Structure 1
Amino acid sequence: MILLSVSRTQGRRLGVAAAAGGLLAALLTAAPAAAIPDPGDSPASGKEVSRSAQAEAREAVRSGEIPGQDEIVHSGNIRHVANIPKDALPGTNSDLAFQGRYAFAGNYDGFRIFDISNPKAPKTVAQVLCPGSQNDISVSGDLLFLSTDSSRSDSSCNSTTQPATEKSSWEGIKVFDVSDKHNPRYVAAVETACGSHTHTLVPERRNVYIYVSSYSPNAAYPDCQPPHDGISVIKVPRKAPHKAALVGFPVLFPGEGPDGGGNPGGPTNPGVAKTTGCHDITVLPSKDLAAGACMGDGILFSIKDPERPEVIDRVQDNVNFAFWHSATFNQKANKVVFTDELGGGGGATCNAEIGPNRGADGIYDIVGTGDRQKLVFRSYFKIPRHQADTENCVAHNGSLIPVKGKDLMVQAWYQGGVSVWDFTDSSKPKEIAYFERGPLSTERIITGGSWSAYYYNGYIYSNDIAKGFDVLRIDDRRTDPARRVHLRELNVQTQPDYFD
């Protein structure tokens, strides 16, 4: 593996010729990745691109315009300090959570626990086989939670795939006791409508509430009926997690008709996902606020009563946003960054043809107070390095880097790598650091790259779909103050008050 420190400009021209014609139209009208009955437990085998795109990718590698396969490039202020390849769990790596000296890494085949007391040499503590995409993961105290979003024969870790058209099929939340990190113990499961694509914790002293995001109902699915216009809420007693239970399904998009009142999508809004639930929710408990990325809508809502969240404001972007995927508050709770997962995460959208405003972040200011707060659009941000048309790349999961008075974020972009950027001026965001690998292939789009990139206690941790668990260190005067902030626990979608 070759480590390089290079600088590349925004003028990188990859994708202009190859994306001409049908590719752009296909990306803009294609449906995003959805909660289908059984998306499988391993990455897609890939799809070939045009000969011109292949030739362009090979020439870009030959000329040094993009890194070659298995080659790493990064800005001068980032160092790659460790990589732990995938081991007993060969499926797609997904999200990350942290507690003390441990990192918890989701995988479509289960989850892995790392000891990161020495970030330069992480050690595997446990690997748990429990298939069920996408195994979105979080921890709170002695409890670990996994999202299952593929139809299974039952709720056990020995289940097999089964059609969602069968009433006996199961999808939802699994609960583990991880008081002994070396021996996690499965203690409970709660079935939820349309499964659990992602989930978000709202922790209290005695209970943990879980907001379950799922979508894509179908009249043929007994446990996923339209309209699916809200979220499932689960209550888990800390001292009796086996009593975890569904306590409600608050409707976030009330309206007439079979699909509720969310964004109707196409043909009314061509290229935009129809809202049939939420993809991801981020809560800021210290402010009693939550932000929802809900397919065709972005929402701001109050969680003063965690069992009965109430929508405060709702926005759409029917020009540039195809699929509202995730959300991040800044520390002052006067901004929200929403991501657009154009192409569902499997497309090559970081090229010149797609441009800087699609498959990007949308930065919104929060203005007003209380229940009169409003989301006001300010700008888009997208990584400035164009990727080859064989690289899946789009805005994905990231977290704040806690520096008082600044709005800094680290973010995953699949094969676009890891980007650190500054949105202190919400109208003029800018990248300040990056790390990326060359394409997995110059002939096919093979799903890979960083799924999640999060800052935790002085280091950046990235779960790469194909390459495993990466640890990065950023040395920059703008981010250095964050090293003084140490957390005991971090679930990124449950944002802490870093400076309380």
Structure 2
Amino acid sequence: MLLSKSRRFLVAAGAAVALTATALPAAANDIPPVDTVVTSPNVQHVLNVPKPAPIAATINTDIAFQGNYAYVGNYGGFSIYDISNPKRTKVVSSVVCPGAQMDVSVYGDLLFAAVDSSRNNDSCSSTGQSATIKESWEGVRIFDVSDKANPKYIKSVETNCGSHTLTLVPGKGHDRRRNLYVYVSSYLPAANFPDCAPPHDKISIIKVPLRDPTAAAVAATPVVFPDGGNETQPGLLVPTSGCHDITAYAEKDIAAGACMGDGVLFDIRDRLNPKVTARTTDPNFAFWHSATFTNDARKVVFTDELGGGGAATCNEATGPTRGANAYYDIRRGKLQFRSYFKIPRHQADSENCVAHNGSLIPVKGKDIMVQAWYQGGVSFVDFTDISRPREFGYFERGPASQGGGGIWSAYYYNGYIYAADFHNGLDVLKVNDPLVRGADRVRTDRLNVQTQQSYPDWGWDH
């Protein structure tokens, strides 16, 4: 039986209410009140910035960072935040451009947004339209964000089955200055979808000429599963028909694919021709959702989106391994399973809770991660001992007054954690723990979590 860690309640005004500091079995009276913020003692809730009015009615999704700005996707568009002073994070602008999920990545003056809902055209004034209609559009939108106050929509690229997520992959060598590649993950084909017919089992690769991004176009559609993916395993959310998300570690020429019923490793030395080098399945997994490499790329963490994000899976009935992260060593190019981890804090049966998007926290000699769990909040995990990952801090709210909700993505960037909440906007957190000592001295100029890059050694103590 899982035990719930003691909780410290922080009300909106910032006052603390003392609770008994003993571990008790998770029970109804251990669930925080509706919408109430709860943290472990080593996590500080620095600030909450509500969603801007133009997109307040739709939910927040993924986050990208560059310089002093955070870019937050939203089903209704995206917003740009000034984070030059994290304690005074503020909205610079919002772009209304509906189309799920609007996951975002940024590179120089370009922002890329994924659209996986069929639209009647590619414009920001489009409306939903059935994918059975040939003229429907879904794919990738490209914006010029050089003027943060006035982003401009400059290009759309249609892709087969849309773009559920996307991954930026810089070119190699001299090509790095000329081209950027976008790996587009999509799935769920149907025989009556003209632009998304089975078998799909592939990704789309968009080539973006950096000097002329309006010339961006699909350059390749490599098949990941030529013999079909995992389709018959009992308990799958849906059979494999493509990939949900890909994390590329471009400087090491590798990528990890979370592909519905399969976990895969790619060799991406040839950017337009990625090759599958390892593949695994797990009878415990329902839906391979996302992947994170360690800084040395000797380990990889895969997440399982049990219940598709809409179910209460962080409770005693579901148990400690279903809907968990799975941790793998990478040995001689193959995946070797080591352990599972799931948040040890039971959530109410009304709370949708699932392993979702997170990032590394740069600590030399350790493998530390922060991760979103929808209504399970934000979890801080030490998996240096890959056989025994453990949570050492958390942030969450009590059951959402709207019913469903929670934290979609939580990422560490230059000393702070930024968490995109469905309904509550952008949360800024600070973790104060000996395990992360030195991390705040590591600085990077850009963070797209699906495009991993190694942290510079000069940021660490020697």
Same fold at TM > 0.5 = yes
- Listed one character per residue, the Cα deviations across residues 25-57 of structure 1 (whole Å, up to 9, x for unaligned) are xxxxxxxxxxxxxxxxxxxxxxxxxxxxxxxxx
Cα shift at 1:70: 2.2
Cα shift at 1:272: 4.9
Cα shift at 1:269: 2.7
Give, in whole Å, the separation in 2 of the partners of 1:6 and 1:409: 27
- Report the secondary structure of 1:343's partner residue: helix
* Aligned pairs (5 A) from 1:217-256: 217-255=189-227
Relative to structure 1, is the Cα distance of residues 9 and 498 closer, same or farther in structure 2, using a 3 angstrom cutoff? farther
C-alpha contact (below 8 Å) 1:272/1:322 kept by paired residues: yes
Give, in whole Å, the separation in 2 of the partners of 1:493 and 1:279: 12
* Aligned pairs (5 A) from 1:270-281: 270-281=235-246
Match of 1:194 in 2: 161
Asked if residue 398 in structure 1 is aligned to residue 358 in structure 2, the reply is: yes
- TM-score, with length taken from structure 2: 0.92
Q: Which runs of 5+ in 2 are unaligned?
A: 1-10, 171-175, 458-462
C-alpha contact (below 8 Å) 1:10/1:384 kept by paired residues: no
Match of 2:141 in 1: 174
C-alpha contact (below 8 Å) 2:34/2:398 kept by paired residues: yes
- TM-score, with length taken from structure 1: 0.85
Give, in whole Å, the separation in 1 of the partners of 2:76 and 2:19: 36
Relative to structure 1, is the Cα distance of residues 499 and 429 closer, same or farther in structure 2, using a 3 angstrom cutoff? same
C-alpha contact (below 8 Å) 1:421/1:430 kept by paired residues: yes
Match of 1:458 in 2: 415
Amino acid at match of 1:12: P
Asked if residue 434 in structure 1 is aligned to residue 434 in structure 2, the reply is: no
- Report the secondary structure of 2:307's partner residue: helix
Amino acid at match of 1:109: G
Asked if residue 207 in structure 1 is aligned to residue 179 in structure 2, the reply is: yes
Relative to structure 1, is the Cα distance of residues 10 and 353 closer, same or farther in structure 2, using a 3 angstrom cutoff? farther
- Report the secondary structure of 2:435's partner residue: coil
Relative to structure 1, is the Cα distance of residues 479 and 6 closer, same or farther in structure 2, using a 3 angstrom cutoff? farther
C-alpha contact (below 8 Å) 2:142/2:156 kept by paired residues: yes
Match of 1:326 in 2: 290
Give, in whole Å, the separation in 1 of the partners of 2:19 and 2:432: 16
Asked if residue 145 in structure 1 is aligned to residue 109 in structure 2, the reply is: no
C-alpha contact (below 8 Å) 2:303/2:355 kept by paired residues: yes
Amino acid at match of 2:433: D
Cα shift at 1:270: 3.6
- Report the secondary structure of 1:152's partner residue: coil
Match of 1:378 in 2: 338
Give, in whole Å, the separation in 2 of the partners of 1:391 and 1:10: 21
C-alpha contact (below 8 Å) 1:324/1:339 kept by paired residues: yes
Give, in whole Å, the separation in 2 of the partners of 1:139 and 1:9: 44
Give, in whole Å, the separation in 2 of the partners of 1:474 and 1:396: 19
C-alpha contact (below 8 Å) 1:10/1:385 kept by paired residues: no
Larger RCO: Structure 1 or Structure 2 (Cα < 8 Å, ≥ 6 residues apart)? 1
C-alpha contact (below 8 Å) 2:410/2:420 kept by paired residues: yes
Give, in whole Å, the separation in 2 of the partners of 1:68 and 1:13: 14
Relative to structure 1, is the Cα distance of residues 9 and 414 closer, same or farther in structure 2, using a 3 angstrom cutoff? farther
Asked if residue 304 in structure 1 is aligned to residue 269 in structure 2, the reply is: yes
Match of 2:372 in 1: 412
State, as a whole percentage, how many aligned pairs show the same letter. 61
Cα shift at 1:71: 1.0
C-alpha contact (below 8 Å) 2:26/2:345 kept by paired residues: no
- The CA RMSD measured in Å over matched residues stands at 1.4
Give, in whole Å, the separation in 2 of the partners of 1:473 and 1:343: 30
* Aligned pairs (5 A) from 1:17-32: none
* Aligned pairs (5 A) from 1:481-496: 481-496=438-453
- Listed one character per residue, the Cα deviations across residues 89-135 of structure 1 (whole Å, up to 9, x for unaligned) are 02110000000000000000000000001111111111000000000
- Listed one character per residue, the Cα deviations across residues 113-171 of structure 1 (whole Å, up to 9, x for unaligned) are 00001111111111000000000100000100000110101111111111100000000
Of 54, 61, 64, the residue aligned with 1:97 is 64
Amino acid at match of 2:445: R
Cα shift at 1:351: 0.2
Give, in whole Å, the separation in 2 of the partners of 1:10 and 1:395: 23
Cα shift at 1:499: 2.6
Give, in whole Å, the separation in 2 of the partners of 1:110 and 1:487: 26
C-alpha contact (below 8 Å) 1:144/1:178 kept by paired residues: yes
Amino acid at match of 2:330: I
Give, in whole Å, the separation in 1 of the partners of 2:160 and 2:243: 12
Of 22, 25, 38, the residue aligned with 1:12 is 25
Match of 1:52 in 2: none
Give, in whole Å, the separation in 2 of the partners of 1:439 and 1:7: 21
Return structure 1 stretches of 4+ with deviation > 2 angstroms: 1-14, 268-273
Cα shift at 1:446: 2.2
Number of residue pairs the alignment of both structures matches: 437
Match of 1:284 in 2: 249
C-alpha contact (below 8 Å) 1:293/1:324 kept by paired residues: yes
